[in-house]
Structure 1
Amino acid sequence: MAVGQGRRIILLAGPTASGKSALAVRWAQACGGVVVNADSMQVYSDLRVLTARPDPEEERRTPHMLYGHVDGAKPYSVALWLDDVRRLLAGTDPRPLIFVGGTGLYLQALIEGLSEVPPIDEAVREHWRGQSALRSAADLHGELARRDTAAAERIRASDTQRILRALEVVESTGRSLLEWQSEVSPALVQAGERFLLIPERYDIRVSIAERFRTMISAGGLDEVLILLQRGLDPSLPVMRAIGVAPLAAHLEGQLRLDEAVERAITDSRQYAKRQTTWMRNRFADWQPAPRFFENAV
């Protein structure tokens, strides 16, 4: 039996800047529910503005969970998120839960389960993080091809994060990441109402540009400055959040602010396109999110 069975659970997925967070809040207010984060970057306390995390007033008006509870120095993962969700579902709070986010892997793992990869030896993880600073993605991919041919065939030569993950798994466990992924844990949520919110492409493009420029005026640049001052490992997930790299380049004198902003907007639009494609393929049977909230309650 899934942990949260018997409780009303709503899943709401959509690309960045699609308006899903605002819809989730209205939903929670209407049904007396709690908004639960399913976004891999909104978990970090360091990036409220640049990840469009709910502000303190929004959190005061509507209950939110799993937002901003992780320090940027810690590498968070889908497995850790599922652990947090498991504890949440095991509680006695009967309120409906509205899971909302753009990290499709989180929502997929919630309803389909996740492969149980053992904890990675910290020395192995540190070794490959160090290698990522010294070697190109193509070089690391070649290393993976020598150690784990099957995984290398499935991972793009430019996808440094997944390459490093596959390398650390095969070195730490002696088994391919693909072997571990074939052994899946039970899903935490087996029922629930599932909705997909994907506006027109033009609307998302406009929303992304407007939102990012607002983020700059709201303190987004200051957030990146603080991250740089902390001297965090550039391979950490928080340092790869959209907008961090170009804004860091501006702060280091490599880009004008307008160039950094345009680069971040472009990166965000490309990410939204990838999210949309992935969600339409993986969540093809989810219902379209209602255009009018009154029809959704």
Structure 2
Amino acid sequence: MDKRKPVVCILGPTGAGKTATSLGMAKRFPARILNFDSRQVYKDFPIITAQPSPEERAVCPHELYGFMPTTGIITVADFIEFAHEKIEQSVDELPILVGGTGLYLKALTSGLAPIPDIPDEIRARVRKRAEEEGSAALFEELQRVDPEYAKCTHPNNKQRNSRAIEVYEGTGKNFTWWHNREVPPSPYRFLKIGIKVNLDDLTPLLNRRIDQMIAAGAIDEARRAWDICPDESAPGWTGIGCSELLAFIKGDIDIDEAKLLWAKNTRAYAKRQLTWFNREKDIHWFSPDEPSQIVEFAAAWLAKSDVEG
């Protein structure tokens, strides 16, 4: 009998309706919603990163949203530690993981390879390269040495690209090799529910959401964040939407250019997310207009888990 704690995961590309799906499930079961989106951890960008609103958070406890300063760095290992802690706190609640950072979810569900500590001199050298040559140069190298991992990052993501290159230089093996190593089984049972939207259908929804974010105060939010952290190299500023609005605030581009770039980068990110999740074989896919079917599917899985457990 499998007596591991059940955990439901709601995943999919940005803008697909994961938050609404999770809230529908939380209205059926006593639940605790846990974020696994690497951008929604930053507290200074609740609008730009589409974090749940106060009204949405009132439905049930929400964890791991908006707790990190713009200067903060959260590694995959950090995320696993935080997620395990919150899952263990969900004694009488169903943990529902919601997000789109595939690497976080894979590490949590499949385990994290024990990557050795990287020598300080290698880390310093790679970080210096990132500052002098730019994150895009590291990304180009990453595409050569680890094309699989390059699919889940972005040329502007200095934190991830630097970490991947330093691991490769420090161990002689790339991230994909480490992530594919055998690790101990997870102490939890996972049901993965994917919200799938065709990219062409998703694109106008993403464009409309950008307009809605700007109407909700995204530009003022970015200005306040810049007052708090006027360092564009800080990890929080590398997020899509944040970097484009920062370019507008600094006068490098006008607002229309910022919106076009934001939309382009968001679509590219959604495409990478779909590519990542489409490689996984244990996801049960639904469209966003099937909320009742999703809840009933999860209820049946939980009932079966109770019987088997």
- What is the TM-score of this pair, normalised by structure 2? 0.81
Which runs of 5 or more structure 2 residues have no equivalent in the other structure?
297-309
- The yes-or-no answer on 1:176 pairing with 2:161 is no
- Identify the residue that residue 288 of structure 1 maps to in structure 2: 285
- Identify the residue that residue 134 of structure 1 maps to in structure 2: 132
- The yes-or-no answer on 1:108 pairing with 2:96 is no
**What one-letter code is carried by the residue in structure 2 that aligns with 1:216?**
I
Further displaced range: 262-271 or 83-92: 83-92
How many residues are matched?
288
- Identify the residue that residue 275 of structure 2 maps to in structure 1: 277
**What one-letter code is carried by the residue in structure 2 that aligns with 1:261?**
K
1:169-214 deviation digits (Å, cap 9, x = unpaired) = 356x555345644545434355232211112333311211111111
Further displaced range: 7-16 or 120-129: 120-129
- Identify the residue that residue 16 of structure 2 maps to in structure 1: 18
Give 1:61 deviation, angstroms: 2.5
Q: Percent identity?
A: 29
Q: Secondary structure at the match of 1:106?
A: helix
Give runs of aligned pairs for residues 83-94 of structure 1, distance below 5 A: 83-91=81-89, 93-94=91-92
- State how far apart, in whole Å, the 2-side matches of 1:13 and 1:61 are: 19
- Identify the residue that residue 59 of structure 2 maps to in structure 1: 61
Give 1:124 deviation, angstroms: 5.3
- Identify the residue that residue 261 of structure 1 maps to in structure 2: 259
Further displaced range: 117-126 or 36-45: 117-126
Further displaced range: 151-160 or 43-52: 151-160
CA gap of 1:260–1:143, structure 2 versus 1, over 3 A, is: closer
- State how far apart, in whole Å, the 2-side matches of 1:217 and 1:249 are: 18
Q: 216, 221, 224: which is aligned to 2:222?
A: 224
CA gap of 1:137–1:38, structure 2 versus 1, over 3 A, is: closer
- State how far apart, in whole Å, the 2-side matches of 1:193 and 1:17 are: 21
CA gap of 1:25–1:154, structure 2 versus 1, over 3 A, is: closer
Give 1:253 deviation, angstroms: 1.1
CA gap of 1:7–1:228, structure 2 versus 1, over 3 A, is: same
Contact kept in structure 2, 1:166 and 1:176, CA below 8 Å: no
CA gap of 1:170–1:233, structure 2 versus 1, over 3 A, is: farther
Contact kept in structure 2, 1:110 and 1:187, CA below 8 Å: no
- State how far apart, in whole Å, the 2-side matches of 1:19 and 1:153 are: 29
**What one-letter code is carried by the residue in structure 2 that aligns with 1:107?**
L
Contact kept in structure 2, 1:116 and 1:184, CA below 8 Å: no
- What is the TM-score of this pair, normalised by structure 1? 0.84
Contact kept in structure 2, 1:11 and 1:100, CA below 8 Å: yes
Contact kept in structure 1, 2:6 and 2:188, CA below 8 Å: no
RMSD of aligned alpha carbons: 3.0
Q: Secondary structure at the match of 1:31?
A: coil
Which runs of 5 or more structure 1 residues have no equivalent in the other structure?
none
Contact kept in structure 2, 1:12 and 1:101, CA below 8 Å: yes
Further displaced range: 264-273 or 224-233: 224-233
- Identify the residue that residue 74 of structure 2 maps to in structure 1: 76
